[in-house]
Amino acid sequence: MFSASTYQGRRSRLASDLGNGLILISGNIDAAMNYRGNPYHFRQDSSFLYFSGLDNPGLALTIDSGTGRSILYGDDLTIEDIVWVGSQPTLAEQAKQAGLDEVRPMDRLSADVQAAGDKLHFLPPYRGETILRLATWTGRSVEAIQAGFSEGLIHAVVAQRSLKSQEEIDEMTWAVDLSGRMHVSVMREAEEGLHESDLASLVTGMCEAEEVVPAYGIILSKDGQTLHNHYHGNTLESGQLVLGDFGAESRMHYAGDITRTFPVDRHFTNKQREVYEVVLDAEILAIEACKPGVAYKDVHLHAARIIANGLKDIGLMKGDCHEAVAAGAHALFFPHGLGHMIGLDVHDMEDLGENHVGYSKDVQRSDQFGLAYLRLARKLQPGFVLTVEPGIYFIPELIDQWRADKKHTDFINYSALEKYRNFGGIRIEDNVLITEKGYQILGDPIPKTVAEIEALRYIV
């Protein structure tokens, strides 16, 4: 964890931003997999981590926004606990590491929280267990908890967590560098006859060896056209593309989120290369467009036009690219957003409400198919870290539906599309820090040009 003063500074600013009331931040408990005694790996709540750094289950934190006084709630281990899970730092030791003012047993929390009455601030709970615990602590109904989170607290938390400090950037760089090594291993090892799961096993193994976990479910598939595809059961065949979208979490739980797409064979086919170069152009030029003051929605639309233009060159789209993108025709091929904030969460702070994180009064969410999925749209600021991840996909179900509906026939050349039905999908993604002057791609460069990727196959 960072030094106690880091967490003290964050809590102090949070208290001052809120101005009054009692802030309650609940840590996570273990999440039951198939029964309570067999939990998934423990993942602490990201806001709890941000304001305390403490990474054990069963804790909660209050901050009195008037006085700034912070209290850690929890229970020390009994000797029987120690037999099962081993020794841990005492609560007093944990409080000291985090610069917290006081420790109280968990059974005090309810009275302390209820004493705050309606001056209690808590964040929207995203786990059933947290909803139930908040209901118990506050004496409120489940419905009141689900509706009763504090927008003021959300805004104050988003304001801080959106701007990454240097120590956070260092941690994220570590995550990206490990993620990059995972991608290089996968690209090197890929060959005809392997299973997707053979490559996925490299990823999980490399994470485990560093005592970390993947930051999100591994996408590693010859069916890259399915955006969130976690199936790894296919055998790789010559002529296919493989899309790998995976990243490591750092030991302090900052995420890396990297995507590369590569051929099963040593070389891209000409057809693959043509589409790949369009995505790569879109990715590089979108990154270059990132700087403070630019709305990320405009960067998204910029990338969309590059994609539309490239697909026009290939013969799959037609007409004016600006008009095509304004109409949303490109979304047949690029149906998702260009990227999102990243930090302690891979979609940073998504549980706090995507519109609070990625949108603003100036930039409202569109309801157009594709653009509606854009998670980050507002003006960029120095200290933001975000993903840039354009893609081109050939989704048979979507193509069939659009063609049947005669959608955007002015812009889409449906007959030429037939030859691409089994093409799959291509996405390229890096993690980008917004600096005072522009941008910086986090981490060591990860091969992404056609030449760089093909060269990996000759190094054994």
* Proportion of the chain in helix, strand, coil states, percent, rounded to 5: 45, 15, 40
The CA distance from 121 to 128, in Å, is 19
By the rule CB under 8 A, 85 interacts with a second copy:
yes
Nearest distance from C-beta of residue 396 to a second copy, angstroms: 9
Which of residues 244, 335, 390, 447 is near a second copy by CB under 8 A? 335
Binding mask 348-367 for a second copy (x = CB under 8 A): --xx----------------
Nearest distance from C-beta of residue 427 to a second copy, angstroms: 13
By the rule CB under 8 A, 89 interacts with a second copy:
no
By the rule CB under 8 A, 46 interacts with a second copy:
yes
Judged by CB, which is closer to a second copy: 15, or 134? 134
For the chain, what is the radius of gyration of the CA atoms?
24
The CA distance from 13 to 65, in Å, is 9
Binding mask 116-135 for a second copy (x = CB under 8 A): ----------xxxxxxx--x
| Contacts (CB under 8 A) with a second copy, residues 157-186 | none
Nearest distance from C-beta of residue 174 to a second copy, angstroms: 16
SS (H, E, C) 18-65: HCCCEEEEECCCCCECCCCCCECCCCCCHHHHHHHCCCCCCCEEEEEC
CA–CA–CA angle 368, 369, 375 (5° rounding):
85
Binding mask 399-418 for a second copy (x = CB under 8 A): --x-----------------
Which of residues 93, 108, 139, 195 is near a second copy by CB under 8 A? 195
Size of the site for a second copy (CB under 8 A): 68
Nearest distance from C-beta of residue 82 to a second copy, angstroms: 5
CA–CA–CA angle 357, 362, 366 (5° rounding):
75
Judged by CB, which is closer to a second copy: 107, or 211? 211
How deeply is 383 buried, as exposed, middle or buried, from its count of CB atoms within 10 A (0-12, 13-18, 19+)? Answer: middle
CA–CA–CA angle 45, 48, 51 (5° rounding):
150
| Contacts (CB under 8 A) with a second copy, residues 287-326 | none
The CA distance from 88 to 460, in Å, is 44
By the rule CB under 8 A, 206 interacts with a second copy:
yes
Stretch that binds a second copy, among 50-58, 102-110, 207-215, 317-325 (CB under 8 A): 207-215
Nearest distance from C-beta of residue 126 to a second copy, angstroms: 5
By the rule CB under 8 A, 110 interacts with a second copy:
no
By the rule CB under 8 A, 374 interacts with a second copy:
no
| Contacts (CB under 8 A) with a second copy, residues 50-69 | none
Which of residues 26, 27, 45, 279 is near a second copy by CB under 8 A? 45
CA–CA–CA angle 52, 54, 60 (5° rounding):
75
In the block, tokens 């993947």 appear at 214
By the rule CB under 8 A, 190 interacts with a second copy:
no
The answer to whether the CB of 183 falls within 8 A of the CB of 203 is: no
Buried-state track 48-69, b at ≥16 Cβ within 10 A, e below 16: bbbbbbbbbeebbbbbbbeeee
Where is 104: in which H helix or E strand? strand 102-105
Point out which residues bind a second copy (CB under 8 A). Answer: 31-41, 43, 45-46, 79, 82-87, 126-132, 135, 142, 195, 197-198, 200-211, 216-217, 223, 226-233, 253, 335, 344-347, 350-351, 395, 397-398, 401
